[in-house]
Amino acid sequence: MTVAEVQRSSFLTRRIERIEVSATMAVAADAEKLRAAGADLVDLGPGEPHFPTPEHIKEAGIAAIRGNFTKYTAVGGTTELRDAIVQRHAADFGSGYTRDQCIASVGGKHALFNAVQVLVEHGDEVVIPVPYWVSFKDIVRYAGGEPVYVATDEGRDFALTTEMVERAITPRTKVILLNSPNNPSGAVMTPADLTAVLKLAHERGIYVISDECYVYLNHTGHKLSAGCVHDVKDRLIIIGSLSKTYAMTGWRLGYALAPAPIVSAMVKLQSQSTSNPTSIVQKAAVAALSGSQDCVRKMLEGYIVLRDQLVAGLRAIPGITCSAPNGAFYAYPNLSHYFGRGGMNCASDVARRLLHEAHVVVVPGEGFGTREHVRISYATSQETLARGLQRMREFFAAL
Ligand SMILES: Cc1ncc(COP(=O)(O)O)c(C=O)c1O
């Protein structure tokens, strides 16, 4: 049976028909074809650190294998790991979660998936600020929920305020999904805006899922978790991940911090799907969370240098505007100035031509909910960024 036949067939469930393959994958597939044909691409597409996993974390994983820590563990992670997660969070954000309010999962995406599955019922609305990470809407739809999109203020670096959120709330709103620092824009909510949205949601009996996978990649010098805000915790689910913080994307270790009954429901769901995250990865995660955090600081310093180089380079290209990315490792420039030139009318058109003519890989904004922007990752070397910027300058100058 061909892929097209499978897609047309009716034996697949409605819930799988409701979702799409990640938009970022289409770009990667196109780039792969060109690369296989011998093209020298500057790849600014990937959503992962270019740094290797720090040595002491790798060593802990190797020691776990050698020490035969290779059996099933508790579904939601070992006591040692859950303690390490809540202690790290308490040390960094003064949050005070307990072990039974913590579950370790197979990546932050898995923790988010579990949280949405246990909270969102058919017909429930989930407020999602735009631009959003590609998977949010599909995870919500898979659960039967309806995404309700909220525009943010690009002029103020994609700021999200209570007024914007409030307009989107209806009696069916079950969850508000926050993501600060944001993928794809790099936007970071101010403490005042974050606190106000959390308090608004709490007053209205709405849950907040705060995706904090980039919480340690905050360039403002003041990293901020929703867990810092008091008196809202009974409606708050924090999603964390070791992927970006410790350059561990392939290891697959994320977590959620939430009220114990929500964590129990997530553990129940996880017990019927993946069971525990990989045992040896849990040992590596303990080393990451409990060891020296110097590696995190060093990587953050590196990202800030790269961010400044990319943003300055983009802003120097006539017609391109770029909001300030204050966290994560992406810039999200607005390219609409060039729409109408050379047959380009949306971000996908620009990304396609950048790929095929300039051999620069970027991710078009459509997958993130906007059609004027592309996402450019600066998790790469300064040389690669310089080459990418040079090619983009020449591409846009020739239009
Ligand atoms: C906003 C956001 N949340 C969650 C994730 C999931 O990361 P992981 O599953 O690797 O922990 C990502 C990864 O790109 C992300 O950008």
Quick check: 110 and 242 in contact, CB under 8 A?
A: no
Q: What is the pLDDT of residue 29?
A: 87
pLDDT of 280? 98
pLDDT in tens, 332-360: 999 999 999 988 999 999 999 999 999 99
The sheet carrying 236-241 orders its strands as: 102-105, 254-257, 236-241, 207-211, 173-179, 125-130, 146-151
Ligand 1 atom nearest residue 179's Cα:
1
Counting from 1 in the atom list of ligand 1, the atom nearest the Cα of 182 is: 1
- Interstrand relation of 374-377 and 42-43 (parallel, antiparallel or unpaired): unpaired
pLDDT category at 21 given cuts 50, 70, 90 is confident
C-alpha dihedral sign at 34, 38, 39, 42: positive
Q: At what angle do helices 135-142 and 108-119 cross, to 10 degrees?
A: 40
Considering the chain, what percentage of its residues have pLDDT values greater than 70? Answer: 97
Which residues is 127 bridged to in the sheet? 148, 176
- Which three-class secondary structure string do you get for 358-382? HCEECEEHHHHCCCCEEEEECCCCH
Question: To test ligand 1's pocket by mutation, which of 106, 135, 180 has the most ligand atoms within 8 angstroms of CB?
Answer: 135
pLDDT tens digits, residue range 236-285? 999 999 999 999 999 999 999 999 999 999 999 999 999 999 999 999 99
On the 0-12 / 13-18 / 19+ scale of CB atoms within 10 A, 215 is buried
277 pocket-lining for ligand 1 (C-beta < 6 Å): no
For the chain, the straight-line distance linking the first and the last C-alpha, in angstroms and rounded, comes to: 44
pLDDT single digits (tens) 215-241? 999 999 999 999 999 899 999 999 999
Tell me what the mean pLDDT of segment 370-390 comes to. Answer: 98
- pLDDT value of residue 398: 94
pLDDT digits (tens, 9 = 90+) for 315-336: 999 999 999 899 999 999 999 9
Is the shortest distance between the CB of 211 and ligand 1 below 6 Å?
A: yes
Mean pLDDT of 43-49: 93
CA of 210 from ligand 1 middle (Å) equals 12
179 lines ligand 1 (CB under 6 A): yes
Q: Residue 359 C-alpha to ligand 1 middle, in angstroms?
A: 26
Q: What is the pLDDT of residues 93-133, one digit of tens each?
A: 999 999 999 999 999 999 999 999 999 999 999 999 999 99
Give the integer Cα–Cα distance in Å for 333 and 241.
26
Output the pTM of the full model: 0.96
31-50 burial, b at 16+ Cβ within 10 Å, e below that, comes to beeeeeeeeebbbbbbbebb
